[in-house]
Amino acid sequence: MFAHATSTKLMAGCQQSLHFVTLPDLNKLCASRLIVLCLENDRKQQQVLHCRELLFTNLEVLASPVPDTIDEIFIVTSRNFLNSRRIQEFAKRIGAKMEEIMPVTCAVLQCCLSYTLIAKLAPKWNKAGNLLIQGFEVTVQDKQICIALEAYTIRLPPSQLEEFGVSPTVLQWFNRSQDASIPHHAIASRWSYILPSMKKGEIASVTHKLPADSELHSYLDIKKHWRNMYGYTLPDMPDQHIIYLNIYFKMIGERLFR
Protein backbone atom coordinates (compact mmCIF):
# COMPACT_ATOMS: atom_id res chain seq x y z
CA MET A 1 0.00 0.00 0.00
CA PHE A 2 3.06 2.25 0.29
CA ALA A 3 5.45 3.17 -2.52
CA HIS A 4 8.59 5.03 -1.49
CA ALA A 5 9.84 7.50 -4.07
CA THR A 6 13.12 5.65 -4.62
CA SER A 7 11.36 2.30 -5.17
CA THR A 8 9.49 3.07 -8.39
CA LYS A 9 10.92 2.46 -11.86
CA LEU A 10 9.04 3.02 -15.09
CA MET A 11 10.31 1.39 -18.28
CA ALA A 12 10.03 3.43 -21.47
CA GLY A 13 9.59 2.22 -25.04
CA CYS A 14 5.87 1.52 -24.92
CA GLN A 15 3.46 1.40 -27.83
CA GLN A 16 -0.09 2.65 -27.77
CA SER A 17 -2.94 0.66 -29.26
CA LEU A 18 -6.41 2.00 -30.05
CA HIS A 19 -9.57 -0.10 -29.96
CA PHE A 20 -12.86 1.19 -31.37
CA VAL A 21 -16.33 -0.04 -30.44
CA THR A 22 -19.60 1.11 -31.95
CA LEU A 23 -21.50 3.32 -29.55
CA PRO A 24 -24.83 1.84 -28.38
CA ASP A 25 -28.03 3.65 -29.27
CA LEU A 26 -28.18 6.28 -26.52
CA ASN A 27 -31.92 6.63 -27.10
CA LYS A 28 -32.32 3.14 -25.62
CA LEU A 29 -30.41 4.11 -22.48
CA CYS A 30 -31.09 6.66 -19.78
CA ALA A 31 -29.25 8.13 -16.85
CA SER A 32 -29.94 9.33 -13.34
CA ARG A 33 -28.18 10.58 -10.24
CA LEU A 34 -28.41 8.73 -6.96
CA ILE A 35 -27.88 11.07 -4.00
CA VAL A 36 -26.73 9.26 -0.85
CA LEU A 37 -28.35 10.91 2.17
CA CYS A 38 -26.08 9.35 4.78
CA LEU A 39 -25.08 10.90 8.09
CA GLU A 40 -21.71 9.15 8.38
CA ASN A 41 -18.61 11.29 8.77
CA ASP A 42 -16.86 9.67 5.81
CA ARG A 43 -19.45 10.35 3.12
CA LYS A 44 -16.91 9.91 0.33
CA GLN A 45 -16.23 6.35 1.47
CA GLN A 46 -19.96 5.58 1.56
CA GLN A 47 -20.31 7.02 -1.95
CA VAL A 48 -17.65 4.64 -3.31
CA LEU A 49 -18.92 1.59 -1.40
CA HIS A 50 -22.51 2.08 -2.58
CA CYS A 51 -21.40 2.69 -6.17
CA ARG A 52 -19.33 -0.50 -6.22
CA GLU A 53 -22.16 -2.49 -4.63
CA LEU A 54 -24.52 -1.24 -7.34
CA LEU A 55 -22.06 -2.27 -10.07
CA PHE A 56 -21.31 -5.75 -8.76
CA THR A 57 -24.91 -6.68 -7.97
CA ASN A 58 -26.47 -5.39 -11.20
CA LEU A 59 -24.74 -6.45 -14.41
CA GLU A 60 -26.95 -4.19 -16.56
CA VAL A 61 -25.67 -1.02 -14.88
CA LEU A 62 -22.79 1.34 -15.60
CA ALA A 63 -22.05 3.65 -12.68
CA SER A 64 -19.55 6.11 -11.28
CA PRO A 65 -19.23 8.52 -8.38
CA VAL A 66 -20.09 11.95 -9.76
CA PRO A 67 -16.76 13.85 -10.07
CA ASP A 68 -16.10 16.52 -7.43
CA THR A 69 -18.93 15.30 -5.18
CA ILE A 70 -18.97 13.21 -2.00
CA ASP A 71 -22.52 11.85 -2.10
CA GLU A 72 -23.70 11.50 -5.71
CA ILE A 73 -23.57 8.54 -8.11
CA PHE A 74 -24.14 8.54 -11.87
CA ILE A 75 -26.14 5.58 -13.23
CA VAL A 76 -26.48 4.60 -16.91
CA THR A 77 -28.81 1.72 -17.76
CA SER A 78 -32.12 0.93 -19.42
CA ARG A 79 -35.27 2.88 -18.60
CA ASN A 80 -36.93 -0.34 -17.46
CA PHE A 81 -34.24 -0.90 -14.83
CA LEU A 82 -34.40 2.68 -13.53
CA ASN A 83 -38.15 2.28 -13.15
CA SER A 84 -37.86 -1.14 -11.56
CA ARG A 85 -38.61 -2.09 -7.99
CA ARG A 86 -35.07 -3.43 -7.67
CA ILE A 87 -33.30 -0.07 -7.96
CA GLN A 88 -35.94 1.62 -5.82
CA GLU A 89 -35.39 -0.92 -3.04
CA PHE A 90 -31.62 -0.47 -3.33
CA ALA A 91 -31.96 3.30 -2.98
CA LYS A 92 -34.27 2.92 0.02
CA ARG A 93 -31.95 0.44 1.74
CA ILE A 94 -28.89 2.71 1.55
CA GLY A 95 -30.87 5.85 2.36
CA ALA A 96 -30.55 7.49 -1.05
CA LYS A 97 -32.76 9.59 -3.31
CA MET A 98 -33.15 8.98 -7.05
CA GLU A 99 -33.14 12.08 -9.22
CA GLU A 100 -35.35 12.29 -12.30
CA ILE A 101 -34.39 10.22 -15.34
CA MET A 102 -32.36 12.19 -17.90
CA PRO A 103 -30.89 11.55 -21.38
CA VAL A 104 -27.45 9.93 -21.58
CA THR A 105 -24.74 12.35 -22.69
CA CYS A 106 -21.34 11.28 -24.02
CA ALA A 107 -19.68 12.82 -20.97
CA VAL A 108 -21.80 10.84 -18.49
CA LEU A 109 -21.40 7.61 -20.48
CA GLN A 110 -17.62 8.10 -20.64
CA CYS A 111 -17.43 8.72 -16.89
CA CYS A 112 -19.51 5.63 -16.02
CA LEU A 113 -17.85 3.35 -18.57
CA SER A 114 -14.33 4.27 -17.41
CA TYR A 115 -15.14 3.74 -13.73
CA THR A 116 -17.00 0.47 -14.37
CA LEU A 117 -14.17 -1.00 -16.47
CA ILE A 118 -11.52 -0.12 -13.89
CA ALA A 119 -13.64 -1.50 -11.04
CA LYS A 120 -14.27 -4.80 -12.81
CA LEU A 121 -10.67 -5.30 -13.97
CA ALA A 122 -9.58 -5.50 -10.32
CA PRO A 123 -7.95 -7.46 -8.78
CA LYS A 124 -6.31 -8.62 -12.05
CA TRP A 125 -5.36 -5.01 -12.72
CA ASN A 126 -5.24 -2.54 -9.85
CA LYS A 127 -5.32 1.23 -10.06
CA ALA A 128 -2.19 3.05 -8.87
CA GLY A 129 -2.41 6.79 -9.37
CA ASN A 130 -3.24 7.35 -13.02
CA LEU A 131 -1.87 3.93 -13.97
CA LEU A 132 -3.82 0.79 -14.64
CA ILE A 133 -2.40 0.00 -17.98
CA GLN A 134 -0.48 3.22 -18.63
CA GLY A 135 -2.48 5.47 -20.92
CA PHE A 136 -5.74 3.56 -20.29
CA GLU A 137 -8.40 5.97 -21.47
CA VAL A 138 -11.98 5.67 -22.59
CA THR A 139 -13.27 8.37 -24.92
CA VAL A 140 -16.87 8.49 -26.10
CA GLN A 141 -17.74 10.30 -29.32
CA ASP A 142 -21.07 10.62 -31.10
CA LYS A 143 -20.91 7.26 -32.86
CA GLN A 144 -18.18 5.19 -31.27
CA ILE A 145 -16.19 4.40 -28.15
CA CYS A 146 -12.39 4.55 -28.29
CA ILE A 147 -10.30 2.69 -25.71
CA ALA A 148 -6.60 3.61 -25.70
CA LEU A 149 -4.16 1.16 -24.12
CA GLU A 150 -0.49 1.99 -23.56
CA ALA A 151 1.57 -0.75 -21.90
CA TYR A 152 4.47 -0.16 -19.51
CA THR A 153 6.54 -2.41 -17.27
CA ILE A 154 6.40 -1.15 -13.69
CA ARG A 155 8.56 -2.32 -10.80
CA LEU A 156 7.15 -1.40 -7.43
CA PRO A 157 8.93 -3.42 -4.71
CA PRO A 158 7.56 -3.22 -1.16
CA SER A 159 9.11 -0.42 0.87
CA GLN A 160 11.52 -1.26 3.69
CA LEU A 161 11.77 0.80 6.88
CA GLU A 162 15.46 1.42 6.15
CA GLU A 163 14.39 3.46 3.10
CA PHE A 164 12.70 6.00 5.36
CA GLY A 165 15.91 6.92 7.13
CA VAL A 166 15.25 5.02 10.36
CA SER A 167 18.53 4.32 12.16
CA PRO A 168 19.68 0.70 12.73
CA THR A 169 19.55 1.27 16.50
CA VAL A 170 15.91 2.37 16.38
CA LEU A 171 15.04 -0.53 14.06
CA GLN A 172 16.60 -3.07 16.42
CA TRP A 173 14.66 -1.61 19.35
CA PHE A 174 11.44 -1.58 17.29
CA ASN A 175 11.84 -5.20 16.18
CA ARG A 176 12.34 -6.47 19.74
CA SER A 177 8.84 -5.64 20.97
CA GLN A 178 5.36 -5.77 19.47
CA ASP A 179 4.47 -2.79 21.69
CA ALA A 180 7.24 -0.58 20.32
CA SER A 181 6.58 2.28 17.90
CA ILE A 182 8.76 4.58 15.82
CA PRO A 183 7.82 8.24 16.38
CA HIS A 184 7.75 10.99 13.77
CA HIS A 185 11.08 12.54 14.81
CA ALA A 186 12.96 9.22 14.36
CA ILE A 187 11.99 9.02 10.66
CA ALA A 188 14.40 11.07 8.54
CA SER A 189 12.68 10.53 5.17
CA ARG A 190 8.99 10.90 6.03
CA TRP A 191 7.35 11.29 2.62
CA SER A 192 5.84 8.38 0.73
CA TYR A 193 3.52 7.83 -2.24
CA ILE A 194 0.38 6.00 -1.12
CA LEU A 195 -1.67 3.53 -3.15
CA PRO A 196 -4.10 3.64 -4.85
CA SER A 197 -4.06 7.39 -5.57
CA MET A 198 -0.23 7.73 -5.35
CA LYS A 199 -0.75 10.96 -3.42
CA LYS A 200 2.16 12.09 -1.29
CA GLY A 201 1.68 11.64 2.45
CA GLU A 202 3.86 12.18 5.51
CA ILE A 203 4.59 9.29 7.88
CA ALA A 204 3.48 10.24 11.40
CA SER A 205 4.55 7.00 13.12
CA VAL A 206 5.25 3.30 12.59
CA THR A 207 3.65 0.63 14.79
CA HIS A 208 3.16 -3.13 15.08
CA LYS A 209 -0.50 -2.67 16.03
CA LEU A 210 -3.37 -0.54 14.82
CA PRO A 211 -3.96 2.51 17.06
CA ALA A 212 -6.89 2.30 19.46
CA ASP A 213 -8.73 5.13 17.68
CA SER A 214 -8.52 3.48 14.25
CA GLU A 215 -11.80 2.84 12.41
CA LEU A 216 -10.31 -0.50 11.32
CA HIS A 217 -9.52 -2.86 14.18
CA SER A 218 -7.53 -5.66 12.52
CA TYR A 219 -5.60 -6.59 9.40
CA LEU A 220 -8.66 -8.57 8.31
CA ASP A 221 -10.68 -5.33 8.48
CA ILE A 222 -8.04 -3.63 6.33
CA LYS A 223 -8.20 -6.44 3.76
CA LYS A 224 -11.99 -6.12 3.55
CA HIS A 225 -11.75 -2.33 3.27
CA TRP A 226 -9.26 -2.46 0.39
CA ARG A 227 -11.26 -5.12 -1.44
CA ASN A 228 -14.55 -3.25 -1.06
CA MET A 229 -13.17 0.23 -1.81
CA TYR A 230 -10.56 -0.46 -4.49
CA GLY A 231 -10.76 -4.11 -5.54
CA TYR A 232 -7.28 -4.88 -4.17
CA THR A 233 -6.61 -8.36 -2.79
CA LEU A 234 -4.08 -7.95 0.02
CA PRO A 235 -1.96 -10.99 0.94
CA ASP A 236 -2.57 -13.17 3.97
CA MET A 237 0.05 -12.35 6.62
CA PRO A 238 0.63 -13.43 10.23
CA ASP A 239 0.03 -10.60 12.71
CA GLN A 240 3.63 -10.61 13.95
CA HIS A 241 4.90 -9.75 10.45
CA ILE A 242 2.61 -6.76 9.91
CA ILE A 243 3.88 -3.19 10.29
CA TYR A 244 1.52 -0.20 10.13
CA LEU A 245 2.49 3.22 8.82
CA ASN A 246 0.23 6.04 10.01
CA ILE A 247 0.05 8.64 7.25
CA TYR A 248 -0.81 12.33 7.46
CA PHE A 249 -2.19 14.15 4.39
CA LYS A 250 -1.89 17.89 4.95
CA MET A 251 -4.69 18.81 2.55
CA ILE A 252 -7.15 16.60 4.46
CA GLY A 253 -6.31 17.91 7.93
CA GLU A 254 -5.52 16.21 11.20
CA ARG A 255 -6.95 12.83 10.29
CA LEU A 256 -4.44 9.96 10.07
CA PHE A 257 -4.68 7.17 7.51
CA ARG A 258 -3.24 3.66 7.92
The domains of the chain are located at: 16-150, 158-257
Band (56; pLDDT cuts 50, 70, 90): very high
Q: What is the pLDDT, as a whole number, of residue 23? A: 78
Find the radius of gyration of the CA atoms of the chain. 21
Identify whether the C-beta of residue 30 lies closer than 8 Å to the C-beta of residue 81.
Answer: no
Query: pLDDT tens-digit profile of 206-220?
Result: 998 888 888 888 888
Q: Point out which residues pair with 16 in neighbouring strands.
A: 150
Query: pLDDT tens-digit profile of 150-203?
Result: 666 667 677 888 888 899 999 999 988 888 999 988 998 888 888 777 788 889
More reliable by pLDDT, 204 or 153? 204
Kindly state the greatest CA–CA separation across the chain: 68
**Topology of domain 16-150, CATH:** Alpha-Beta Plaits (3.30.70)
> pTM for the full model?
0.60
- Listing DSSP states for 27-85 in one string gives GG-EEEEEEE----S-HHHHHHHHHHHHHHH-TT-EEEEPTT-SSEEEEEE-HHHHTSH
**Average pLDDT of the residues in 129-138:** 52
Identify whether the C-beta of residue 72 lies closer than 8 Å to the C-beta of residue 6.
Answer: no
Gap between the Cα atoms of 58 and 79, Å rounded: 14
Q: What is the pLDDT, as a whole number, of residue 16? A: 64
Average pLDDT, rounded, for the chain: 80
Q: What is the pLDDT, as a whole number, of residue 87? A: 92
Query: pLDDT tens-digit profile of 6-22?
Result: 333 334 445 666 667 77
Q: Which of 8-17, 20-29, 35-44, 61-70 has the lowest mean pLDDT?
A: 8-17
Q: What is the pLDDT, as a whole number, of residue 225? A: 87
More reliable by pLDDT, 47 or 126? 47
**Average pLDDT of the residues in 38-42:** 64
DSSP SS3 for 157: coil
Band (251; pLDDT cuts 50, 70, 90): low
CA angle 133, 136, 142 (to 5 degrees): 160
Question: Which range has the top average pLDDT, 68-72, 130-134, 234-238?
Answer: 68-72
Q: What is the pLDDT, as a whole number, of residue 11? A: 40
Question: Who contacts 143 (Cβ-Cβ below 8 Å, separation ≥6)?
Answer: 22, 23
Q: What is the pLDDT, as a whole number, of residue 29? A: 92
